[in-house]
Amino acid sequence: MEWNDKVILVTGGTGSFGKKFIDVMLKEYHPTKLIVYSRDELKQHEMRAGGFDHPSLRYFIGDVRDQQRLQRALHGVDIVIHAAALKQVPACEYNPMEAIKTNVLGSSNVIEAALDAGVKQVIALSTDKAVNPVNLYGATKLCAEKLFVQSNAYAAGSATRYSCVRYGNVVGSRGSVVPVFMKQRHNGKITITDERMTRFWISLEQGVRFVIRCAEQMMGGEVFVPKIPSMKLVDLAKAIAPHTEMEIIGIRPGEKLHEVLISDDEARMTVELPDMYVVHPVETYWSRGYDWTQRGQPLPDGFRYASNTNTQWLTIEQIRQIIEPFEESLEREGIE
């Protein structure tokens, strides 16, 4: 796919993912136009003042809850990257209707507006918390995934296609535990919910480049899952503060010991490629002309892609190398 003749809109464009995606696009892919769609004028001003002031950039104030505004913003757009979401687990638990309005109804608005505007491709960001969800955030993202996958049937007579990308914790994103640990080490104690806890791990740049690759390959209806390493939370704490006391405080409401990116039930509908897994719907009511089962290898019975049974693990030294640039940026921002 040629990106240099495309008009791209990013919902939640002032967030961690949005900014990194736009940075990579401007430096390497040079699309005709990049539209930052978000609801916070201050963040847009700060983003522009911080160097994101390219001639191809447009800043569009709007909320994914507002379908009419989305319809206006999507006029002439070729590709939508849907990154807008309420994603803080405690905030979603305390404000459940707000999470539903943004993550579920907002996703529905993106789907409807993209179809009406004739957008060719829409790719939505999801999370490992959408698999067997135990909190409202995960449940809303699972619902959003279902909406995006099945909306290909809804849009079968048009050129619009919808797919999802699902991955784990992102170092450097808002809400990451990394800055929390960096602050806590100055108090002489780091709090760990459970010493057995494991998580999938992906960098912001890896996430952005994976989304770009998936946009280039999507036919509609896929959930793309990258092959990424796991880490132990205690190893992350040791990498950040090797000589600091760790206090075990117990698992918080809505939290899992281990995360899952592909459940054993989904594995029956999943194929394996060298660098990713592709979950495809059992039945499709739209014509794609492409069969993922002919490209990838089926997974064995009982396969489950979980953070505690992963075959790839990060060592403490590897974690330290990954977080080093992020730590330097926090120091520049005066967080240390």
* The pLDDT of residue 30: 97
* The pLDDT of residue 4: 96
Give a yes or no: residue 110 inside a domain: yes
pLDDT digits (tens, 9 = 90+) for 80-101: 999 999 999 989 999 999 999 9
Determine the Cα–Cα distance for residues 213 and 81; give it in Å rounded to an integer: 13
pLDDT digits (tens, 9 = 90+) for 210-226: 999 999 999 999 999 99
Determine the Cα–Cα distance for residues 234 and 20; give it in Å rounded to an integer: 28
Residues 6+ positions from 305 with CB-CB distance below 8 Å: 225, 260, 261, 262, 267, 277
With cut-offs at 50, 70 and 90, classify the pLDDT of residue 103.
very high
With cut-offs at 50, 70 and 90, classify the pLDDT of residue 335.
very low
Residues 6+ positions from 180 with CB-CB distance below 8 Å: none
Give a yes or no: residue 245 inside a domain: no
Give a yes or no: residue 191 inside a domain: no
Residues 6+ positions from 87 with CB-CB distance below 8 Å: 127, 137, 174, 175
* The pLDDT of residue 333: 59
User: What does the DSSP 8-state code read for residue 173?
Assistant: S
Strands (E), the chain: 7-11, 33-38, 57-61, 79-82, 121-127, 161-167, 169-171, 189-192, 198-203, 223-226, 230-232, 245-248, 260-262, 270-272, 276-279, 297-298, 305-306
Give a yes or no: residue 82 inside a domain: yes
Cβ(160)–Cβ(114) below 8 Å: yes
Domain count, the chain: 1
Strands (E), 13-88: 33-38, 57-61, 79-82
* The pLDDT of residue 319: 93
Q: What b/e string do you get for 55-84 counting C-beta neighbours within 10 Å, with b at 16 or more?
A: eebebbebbbbebebbeebbeebbbbbbbb
Lowest mean pLDDT among 27-36, 54-63, 96-105, 289-298: 289-298
Q: Distance of alpha carbon 116 from its chain centroid, rounded?
A: 25
Give a yes or no: residue 276 inside a domain: yes
Give a yes or no: residue 96 inside a domain: yes
Cβ(85)–Cβ(103) below 8 Å: yes
Q: Which domain holds residue 96?
A: 7-168+201-227+261-305
Active-site residues, by number, are 129
pLDDT at 258 over 70: yes
- What CATH number did the domain enclosing 46 receive? 3.40.50.720
Residues 6+ positions from 101 with CB-CB distance below 8 Å: 65
Quick one: CA dihedral 49, 10, 23, 324, positive or negative?
positive
Q: What pTM did the predictor assign?
A: 0.94
Determine the Cα–Cα distance for residues 259 and 198; give it in Å rounded to an integer: 7
Averaged pLDDT score across all residues of the chain: 93
Give a yes or no: residue 243 inside a domain: no
Give a yes or no: residue 311 inside a domain: no
